[in-house]
Amino acid sequence: MSINKVAREAGVSIATVSRVINNTGAVRPSTRERVEAAIATLGYSANRLARNLRTAESRLILVLVPDYSNPFYAGIVRGIDAEAGRRGYHMLLCDTGADPDAQRTYLELLTNRMADGAICLDPDSIQALTGEQTRHLPWVACCEFDAASGVPWVGIDNARAATDAVRFLIERGRRHIAMIGGDERFMYARERRRGYLTALEEAGLTPPPGSPLDTFEPDFDDGYRLTTRLLSASPRCDALFAASDPLAVGAMQAVHDAGLKVPDDIAIIGFDNIPLAAMVRPRLTTVAQPMQRLGENAARLLLEQLNDPELPPAGTLLEHELIVRESA
Amino acid sequence: MSINKVAREAGVSIATVSRVINNTGAVRPSTRERVEAAIATLGYSANRLARNLRTAESRLILVLVPDYSNPFYAGIVRGIDAEAGRRGYHMLLCDTGADPDAQRTYLELLTNRMADGAICLDPDSIQALTGEQTRHLPWVACCEFDAASGVPWVGIDNARAATDAVRFLIERGRRHIAMIGGDERFMYARERRRGYLTALEEAGLTPPPGSPLDTFEPDFDDGYRLTTRLLSASPRCDALFAASDPLAVGAMQAVHDAGLKVPDDIAIIGFDNIPLAAMVRPRLTTVAQPMQRLGENAARLLLEQLNDPELPPAGTLLEHELIVRESA
DNA sequence: CGCTTTATTGTAAACGTTTACATTTAACGC
DNA sequence: GCGTTAAATGTAAACGTTTACAATAAAGCG
């Protein structure tokens, strides 16, 4: 009953105190001063739980990421936080580990009214699982989405991005272009694989034997392992498109350990443009995603939807960019 | 008034509904069933804001990081989340950018009662700034701490860790050992520098000219830049201790570009053992911090303190480990 | 079967706000 | 000054829970 104390201290009613806190309604300057003085001497700070209960909003948004030690997600999360912060929202960050049960548990925070809305970076396959229960909840899908699902989304055109990357390799004269990283659970991986095949097809090329190759985790170790396997299956391979940067860096290492040179013998292109890409030698050519802006747009979309629940669900496609460095 | 609807549907009072939700108190199996059925048909989920208001706890913990695109913090955050999750807490993650104002703003979430406690990874110099206002608030300092401040903390012995690393270099016959990364704002950096100097001193060595060298950001670019400068100032330098892994990787690159070889001409040791360290060639020798366990311990400490506010503030020192790879 | 104990349920207050509405006070025009 | 209007303040209900306490029903005992 803390606002009560302030009211007593200032000799006014709690309504007046509330009015000066939120400066809503009219209050005479002299009483405003008195109230502010009381707040200062008592060190009062309005209880947000009570306020939230009364106003039926938490000003918290739930962010679901499959793995936040992945720098790519870190960039997006930063964008979300920046935009949300500007509008007075905070972020409840949850690592689902791409586990549907975890996701369901965390989504309770939404039905619980502990959060006002959610941004989900989980694989679309997972999103689909919880789809029915969450149809009417305010959330947006980021990076992984199904445009047909009726859920607002933001992302890039993964297929086109992959096609662009592979075309670049073709233009530079490469003819035996392999791909690694096709994890079926992730939409981005399926799309990139599709774009890769499109580019080959339009140039009248076929994937070298063993390509495209699926990964389980799109990380350095898998990149190394798969590339080693690939090189022995396709010795003529002269270029490699990887679905993520760590994968590409692992591949670079495998190529090197096989006694070949990047980019002379094998050109390599990665995906995402995380900081790592600029830290290795040769520097990694890669498809950049606008991570910060992806996050910002997701947050903006969500908050607009919260303001006006009748808003039709929108999709936002952001542009990718091929960053040409040394590896291709 | 949603619990009301459930009560009406089940033909009981709201108290009984509350009892079956929290299964506290006695309720006859038959009525429990009836209530559960009502909950199911109505799709009811208890409003956490209301519950939190009533029980005066939010089951949220505030995590303040200076920069969460830094993989080192990601590891710690993951540990915090794991431990907190096990105990039914969630995480309000805030990126302060090491800005005191931002930190102050975020800490309002604590005084607001929107969060029950906080874990702070910000530089100790920042922590000190807000110290007076937060003395009585429940929080623990992680990695950056001042043992004398009376705030519970968890971290490693940075000075000893640095000494160990430099001793290792000395044992391997290096005599002109430089250090980069001494950012005065961070306790970890000051301590590592101190440890570096200790190791040199006990071996009767002196730092090569220009060493130790301060950084502003402990990242790849600074590592490259400073090392380049260092190499021209101290051509006889044969080893380098860097206060972070990205710094060390930048240094490796600078050494390479100067036409020298790692580790033959210059041995390099980094700090933290983030994934990057195993992805570069030569693989980086580095001092590992138990990131996950640091986070877990911080969370545990905080939650224990929340359970029993009278608990004397404790400090927890975890062990570091020198991971010997190829760069030294 | 009546009395005492215990298990089950209900009533109502409390948590700390915001806000519609009522009331009081000040301001204004004449 | 007086009536009218506007500004400032207060009252009380509401948000959706939990929980102390009261009340009722069931059970046990002689």
Coil, strand, or helix at residue B315? Answer: strand
Residues B73 and B131 in one domain: yes
Tally of domains in chain B? 3
pLDDT at B32: 94
pLDDT at A311: 86
Please give the average per-residue pLDDT across A168-191, as a whole number.
92
Q: Where are the beta strands (DSSP E) in B25-121?
A: 60-65, 90-95, 117-120
Q: For position A13, which CATH number holds?
A: 1.10.260.40
Within a domain: A324: no
Residues A243 and A303 in one domain: no
Within a domain: B119: yes
Residues B41 and B97 in one domain: no
Token pair recorded at residue B314: 């404790």
Q: In what order do the strands lie in the sheet with A90-95?
A: A315-318, A153-156, A139-142, A117-120, A60-65, A90-95, B90-95, B60-65, B117-120, B139-142, B153-156, B315-318
Whether A38 shows a pLDDT value over 70: the answer reads yes
**Minimum Cα–Cα distance from A55: chain B residue:** B49
Residues B144 and B180 in one domain: no
Smallest CA–CA separation between B91 and chain A, in Å? 6
Within a domain: A108: yes
Within a domain: B77: yes
Residues B13 and B65 in one domain: no
Residues B151 and B170 in one domain: no
Residues B90 and B129 in one domain: yes
Residues B26 and B64 in one domain: no
What distance in Å separates the CA atoms of residue A139 and residue A116, rounded to the nearest whole number?
A: 9
**Minimum Cα–Cα distance from A67: chain B residue:** B78
Within a domain: A267: yes
Contact criterion met (CB < 8 Å) for A111 and B45? yes
Residues A163 and A249 in one domain: yes
Residues A81 and A134 in one domain: yes
Cβ within 8 Å of B, A 201-230: 220
Taking the CA of residue A293 and the C1' sugar atom of nucleotide D20, their distance in angstroms comes to: 53
Q: For position B314, which CATH number holds?
A: 3.40.50.2300
pLDDT at B125: 77
Question: What is the span of the domain harbouring residue A97?
Answer: 59-156+291-318
What distance in Å separates the CA atoms of residue B151 and residue B157, rounded to the nearest whole number?
A: 17
CA distances from B279 to A35, B61, B272, B321 (A): 60, 34, 14, 19
Token pair recorded at residue B240: 């380098």
Q: How confident is the model at residue A131 (pLDDT cuts 50, 70, 90)?
A: low
The structure tokens 């992959």 sit at A162
Query: Which stretches of chain B drop beneath a pLDDT of 70?
Result: 1, 131-132
Within a domain: B195: yes
pLDDT at B182: 74
pLDDT tens for A256-272 read: 999 999 899 999 999 99
pLDDT at A132: 67
Buried/exposed code over B55-65 (b: 16+ C-beta within 10 A; e: otherwise): eebbbbbbbbb
CA distances from B42 to A32, A104, A131, B277 (A): 46, 18, 19, 53
Residues B168 and B201 in one domain: yes
pLDDT at B216: 79
> Nearest to residue B81, comparing CAs of B296, B274, B275?
B296
Q: If 0-12 CB within 10 Å is exposed, 13-18 middle and 19+ buried, where does residue A38 land?
A: buried
Residues A229 and A136 in one domain: no
What distance in Å separates the CA atoms of residue A285 and residue A281, rounded to the nearest whole number?
A: 11
pLDDT at B131: 67
What distance in Å separates the CA atoms of residue A181 and residue A223, rounded to the nearest whole number?
A: 8
Within a domain: B25: yes
Contact criterion met (CB < 8 Å) for A93 and B91? yes
Instruction: Count how many pairs of residues, chain A against chain B, have C-beta atoms within 8 Å.
Output: 113
